[in-house]
């Protein structure tokens, strides 16, 4: 099949838009006698005049040959060997051209389990998932090479499967999630046959590798178009096998009108991503499950979902889910600041929790002004202490009163002591008061008379 070739004047790609380290890798491979092209999403984004997130290189050189050319590289991968070339913290992925595995056509189950056969650039283009991702850029001739019709689909703004959509989705079910991610990211539509294949085989998502599903979930939701991606997954039936409890929650809200609080939260999160917020996994999970968590708080205890448990059972890391729980708990404390919120200020995750609150609070009509005042002065909106009672000290503590001894304590004992010293009991009676035992032991008649005039002298 003859490819469509776009000369330099027919496309917008310039070498000035390509990372200099990527050009170094391309030209060293070419200088060693190998074919080397810029491939995949990087070419797609440059054709759309977008800045690529990263660049991938396809080459005719085998992995060990690439490794021998670059001392700053290492081999990775099991199913298919790749080479990562490092430039400081940056790494550039270099893959040898491949062709589809030859044992798929007669297999009853077309799921790809072996995909490590080297091939030509054309064969490599046809083993890729979608036409818009199968474009090559040749840095020697400055041409764009299109084997599969990707340029036409870019112009039509379509995500189209390469080959037979039914077979391609069954070969690798994760492709269904990738189709959603690209459609949401680029603002494209799914080509009708591709969409129909996804709707028909959405249940095959459970056959995919769990780590790949988790990774693709974060890629799909961790983008500015997160709300559109999640809504599309629900419409196509992909959310039901992936996260059934979230799918059920969306159905119970105003999902048909795209006004579900979960979608509103993700739309706000997407705007934060566009503003420079990094796609932290705990924050992604917290925004995605905040509305479900708030609904669960009002449910009966025996009907509540063990959110952490079900997420971990589906492969989400313990660290990500535990941090998600902390953020969700913190959200509730920030709605109405109190003494527990004061303790929250000292937690290491407070800044992430506050960021989530500022992103999602408008969904529920929550004013964040009380929280901002509380952060500035925690004592300003806590319940004021009651006025200090009479006798309180300057520090606010009530002065402890001395306990008075009972006026009648020991009266019988004092009388006996007086009688033993020859003092008449009538003297005490006439005074209307009694002395304590120790005073009575040393008292004389005169002291008894004094006691009758000063009933509080024992204090």
Do 200 and 129 sit in the same domain of this protein? no
My answer on whether 120 and 17 are in the same domain is yes
- Residues 138 and 57: their CA atoms lie apart, in Å, by 11
Instruction: Note the pLDDT of residue 364.
Output: 95
Structural domain count, the chain: 4
Range of the domain at 47: 1-151
Q: Is the pTM of this model over 0.85?
A: no
pLDDT of residue 297: 85
pLDDT for 253: 84
Instruction: Identify the active-site residue in 124, 129, 153, 320.
Output: 129
Which pLDDT value is given to residue 259? 80
56 classed as catalytic: yes
Instruction: Please name which of 305, 277, 281 lies closest in space to residue 293, comparing C-alpha atoms.
Output: 305
pLDDT of residue 377: 86
The pLDDT assigned to 363 comes to 95
How crowded is residue 301: how many other Cβ atoms within 10 Å of its Cβ? 5
Which CATH number covers residue 82?
A: 3.30.460.10
Q: Does residue 17 carry a catalytic annotation?
A: no
pLDDT tens per residue, range 19-73: 999 999 999 999 999 999 999 999 999 999 999 989 999 999 999 999 999 999 9
Beta bridge partners of residue 95, listed in sequence order = 58
Q: Could you tell me if residue 203 is inside a domain?
A: yes
Q: What is the mean pLDDT of the chain?
A: 85
- pLDDT digit string (tens) for 310-322? 999 999 999 999 9
In a domain, 389, yes or no: no
4 and 100 inside one domain: yes
Q: Is 456 a catalytic residue?
A: no
Note whether 140 and 2 are same-domain residues.
Answer: yes
Tell whether 1 and 144 lie within a shared domain. yes
Residue 285 placed within a domain: yes
Task: Give the pLDDT confidence score for residue 116 in this predicted structure.
Answer: 61
Indicate if 51 and 142 belong to the same structural domain: yes
Count of residues in the chain: 459
Q: Both 219 and 363 in a single domain?
A: no
On whether residue 458 sits in a domain, the answer given is no
Asked whether residue 5 is domain-assigned, the answer is yes
3-state SS, residue 154: helix
Those residues of the chain that have pLDDT short of 70 are 101-116, 254-258, 380-459
145 bridge partner residues = 5, 136
Residue 99 located in a structural domain: yes
Instruction: Classify residue 45: in a domain, yes or no.
Output: yes
Q: Quick one: pLDDT at residue 431?
A: 47
Residue at a domain's end among 242, 266, 293:
242
For 158-185, the pLDDT digits (tens) are 999 999 999 999 999 999 999 999 999 9
In a domain, 390, yes or no: no
Q: Which one is catalytic: 56, 124, 153, 291?
A: 56
Among 17, 54, 115, 138, the one annotated catalytic: 54
- CATH, residue 232: 1.10.110.30
135, 5: one domain: yes
Same domain? For 41 and 108 the reply is yes
Which residue's structure tokens are 């952490």?
308
Question: Which distant-in-sequence residues (6+ apart) come within 8 Å of 442 by Cβ?
Answer: none
């Amino acid at each position: 099949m003859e490819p469509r070739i776009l000369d330099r004047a027919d496309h917008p790609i310039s070498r000035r838009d390509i990372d200099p380290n990527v050009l170094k890798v391309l030209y060293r491979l070419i200088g060693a006698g190998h074919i080397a092209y810029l491939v995949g999403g990087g070419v797609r984004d440059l054709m759309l005049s977008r800045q690529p997130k990263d660049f991938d290189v396809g080459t005719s050189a085998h992995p060990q040959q690439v490794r021998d050319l670059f001392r700053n590289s290492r081999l990775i991968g099991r199913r298919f060997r790749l080479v990562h070339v490092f430039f400081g913290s940056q790494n550039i992925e270099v893959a040898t051209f491949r062709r589809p595995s030859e044992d798929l056509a007669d297999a009853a189950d077309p799921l790809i389990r072996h995909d490590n056969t080297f091939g030509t650039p054309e064969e490599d283009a046809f083993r890729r998932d979608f036409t818009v991702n199968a474009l090559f850029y040749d840095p020697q001739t400055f041409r764009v090479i299109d084997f599969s019709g990707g340029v036409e689909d870019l112009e039509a703004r379509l995500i189209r499967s390469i080959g037979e959509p039914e077979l391609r989705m069954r070969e690798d079910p994760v492709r269904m999630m990738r189709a959603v991610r690209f459609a949401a990211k680029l603002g494209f539509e799914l080509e009708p046959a591709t969409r129909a294949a996804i709707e028909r085989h959405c249940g095959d998502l459970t056959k995919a590798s769990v780590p790949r599903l988790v990774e693709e979930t974060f890629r799909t939701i961790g983008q500015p178009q997160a709300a559109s991606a999640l809504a599309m997954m629900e419409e196509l039936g992909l959310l039901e096998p992936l996260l059934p409890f979230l799918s059920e929650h969306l159905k119970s809200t105003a999902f048909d009108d795209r006004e579900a609080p979960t979608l509103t939260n993700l739309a706000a999160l997407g705007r934060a991503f566009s503003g420079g917020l990094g796609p932290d996994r705990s924050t992604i999970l917290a925004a995605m499950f905040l509305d479900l968590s708030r609904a669960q708080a009002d449910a009966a205890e025996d009907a509540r979902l063990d959110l952490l448990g079900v997420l971990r059972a589906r492969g989400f890391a313990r660290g990500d889910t535990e941090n998600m729980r902390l953020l969700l708990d913190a959200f509730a404390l920030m709605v109405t600041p109190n003494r527990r919120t004061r303790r929250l200020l000292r937690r290491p995750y407070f800044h992430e929790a506050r960021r989530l609150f500022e992103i999602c609070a408008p969904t529920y009509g929550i004013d964040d002004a009380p929280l901002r005042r509380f952060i500035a002065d925690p004592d300003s909106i806590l319940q004021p202490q009651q006025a200090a009672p009479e006798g309180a000290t300057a520090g606010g503590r009530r002065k402890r009163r001395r306990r008075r001894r009972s006026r009648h304590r020991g009266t019988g004992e004092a009388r006996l002591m007086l009688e033993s010293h020859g003092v008449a009991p009538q003297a005490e009676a006439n005074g209307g008061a009694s002395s304590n035992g120790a005073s009575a032991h040393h008292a004389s008649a005169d002291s008894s008379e004094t006691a009758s005039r000063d009933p509080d002298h024992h204090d």
